[in-house]
Structure 1
């Protein structure tokens, strides 16, 4: 396969990396639009979603999973705590570590956010047939894995090029 054939382009000949970036920017803009009336920022929504999947994380753990600096996470946590979206409790093994938990209010707000974001995803996929949407999601997961899993680990994770 030639180098150019290995790099498919979009309908207008745009590089896929450019299209992915444009999609991300459009998706983020729409998400910010629908989250704003709920009083939640995109960063807060991401952090709340992470805590929904795994409550009791420390600020440092949450920062790593959110891929932000500890300083940025400290500010984010302070704001979410002030807005009663989360509460922090001392770790039982080390009282200096504060672990974050969703409050009842945070759970309710997150449910509203999920509904709003579901609408954004539905709009994003509205021009795809259901099987295309499934294939698109699967392709994105494989592309992400290709860039995040060390090359030697790809074969173990089902690399389709091997």
Structure 2
């Protein structure tokens, strides 16, 4: 031999590659977060023709469901701060969609209620929102949709408790 060390083939000099992982499914938390962003965008777009923001619509729909609420209750159920809820309600009050009256049992609490005009606005908006929900559900039957809803509600309860 001539004293030279023979070159190794490229496959012999590189470390073996680890086997590729099978494609894993995204975490449920990621999927829910992604769905939340998509829904916010779609709902916001659907409310533009009505002159409402998503926060305003959410607050109005909470009042329709509850009948009345304090500013703090409305904020909690609308996923906004009490300051934001106050601003939303001032705007809704100026449009004649909400009344703001002192609570007869507590001088510092303001009771918020929908007016008839506010109910009409919410119901018109709900038609647009329901179209998005039907699109999202596609051909999922009502029983399966109710099961999914029950699971989502349970997820929320568990996280609120912890």
* TM-score strictly above 0.5: yes
Query: Which residue does the alignment assign to 1:54?
Result: 66
Query: Which residue does the alignment assign to 1:6?
Result: none
Query: Which residue does the alignment assign to 2:52?
Result: 40
- Distance in 2 (CA, whole Å) between partners of 1:148 and 1:83 is 34
Q: TM-score, normalised by structure 2?
A: 0.76
Q: Contact 2:64/2:114 (CA < 8 Å) preserved in 1?
A: yes
Aligned length: 140
Query: Which residue does the alignment assign to 2:157?
Result: 145
Q: For residues 35-92 of structure 1, what are the alpha-carbon distances to aligned partners after superposition, in whole Å with 9 as ceiling and x for unaligned?
A: 1111111111111111112233222222232232221111111111112111112222
1:111 aligns with 2:123: yes
Superposition pairs for residues 59-78 of structure 1, below 5 Å? 59-78=71-90
The RMSD of aligned alpha carbons is: 2.0
Structure 1: segments with no counterpart, 5+ residues? 1-10, 151-162
Query: Which residue does the alignment assign to 2:3?
Result: none
Closer/same/farther in 2, CA of residues 148 and 60 from structure 1, 3 Å limit: closer
Closer/same/farther in 2, CA of residues 58 and 143 from structure 1, 3 Å limit: closer
Aligned-residue offset at 1:135: 2.7
Closer/same/farther in 2, CA of residues 58 and 129 from structure 1, 3 Å limit: closer
Query: Which residue does the alignment assign to 1:80?
Result: 92
Query: Which residue does the alignment assign to 1:7?
Result: none
Closer/same/farther in 2, CA of residues 149 and 123 from structure 1, 3 Å limit: same
| Secondary structure at 1:135 match in 2 | helix
